[in-house]
Structures are given as C-alpha cells and as structure tokens.
Amino acid sequence: MHITTRGGSRTQKKYVKSMADFCGEKLLGSRLYPKIELRIELVKNLMKKEKIYGDAIWEDDERYPKEFTIRADASQPLRRILETIAHEMVHVKQYAKDELHEYTMKKGHRYKGKFFSDKLDYWDEPWEIEAHGRETGLFVRWAEKHKLGKRQWTQDPGEAQ
C-alpha cells in the first residue's frame, strides 16, 4: 500500500501512516494490500467545520476502487485521530472489496449484497456498526505491536486512571 500524508504535525503523520499501514495489512489481505493508493489529509477543526472526526472516499470510479482519500481531524487527541484512521480504514476495506457501494441516484448503499436506504439512522447502518466495532480493537493491537500501550496518550480516556 502506498500512503501519502498532508497536514498535521510530524508526530501525527508518523503515527497516522503507521496505523493506516497496520490496518491495511490486517484488513485488506496480501493480494489487495499492495494495490491500494491512500492519501491521508489531517485537517484542523474538521469536527467544528463539518461535524465529523473523519471520512473516507474513493478517488477512482471503479467497482473495486484502489485509490482513496481519508480525512481526519488533526485538532483531536492523538488516540482519537488514530482510532478515526482505523475506522476509516475499515471503510476502505469495505469499498475495495466491493462490500460497500454508495448509490447517488438511488440514494442509498449496498452493503454485502443488500440495499439500504439513506433514511436509515447512522448508528443502524451495518457498515458503520462494523467500522465502530473494529476501530478500538485495531488501535489496541497497533499500540501493542509498537509497544506503546503504557504511554499516557494511548490510554482510554473513559477509564479511571
């Protein structure tokens, strides 16, 4: 997988690239992984401006896209940024493996062969359930692999210290 980054600090770029690479290896498989082109944009105040931590879009117009852009809010704490990258990498996997397809004319999505209307609540969308369900686990496994689990910034902010 070829990854380029734009925006953010040197530290953010280093960890974001590492996280995306880790997720790519885990999620895409050995045949698909080397074919992916990924651009990551670290954008300040994305949550304030657009009410999102991040998003993932495909750049090539194929059934099995290989070129993607992920945006993440560079103003968030580092752990939140990396969990956002993990979340969006699940969407990259879904698009690249043709598990998820967005329809503009029909106003909906096809996920694993089934059509879902855009009227479905965000929290009930099965592709979002998968992405939210995997983001923390991917982050924890990445932190363990790189022996970062004891660093303060990697700790779950919801846990009592």
d(CA 71, CA 87): 11
3-class DSSP state of 99: coil
pLDDT beyond 70 at 160: no
- Percent over 70 (pLDDT), the chain: 97
pLDDT beyond 60 at 161: no
CA proximity to 32, closest of 98, 118, 131: 98
Q: What is the pLDDT of residue 146?
A: 96
Question: How many other CB atoms sit within 10 Å of the CB of residue 141?
Answer: 14
pLDDT in tens, 67-99: 999 999 999 999 999 999 999 999 999 999 999
d(CA 28, CA 44): 28
Domains of the chain, earliest start first: 2-148 (3.40.390)
Task: Determine contact, residues 80/53, Cβ cutoff 8 Å.
Answer: yes
Q: Across the strands, what pairs with 70?
A: 40, 56
pLDDT beyond 80 at 4: yes
d(CA 147, CA 63): 38
Q: Which helix (H) or strand (E) holds 138?
A: helix 126-145
Name the one residue in this structure whose structure tokens are 């969308």.
125
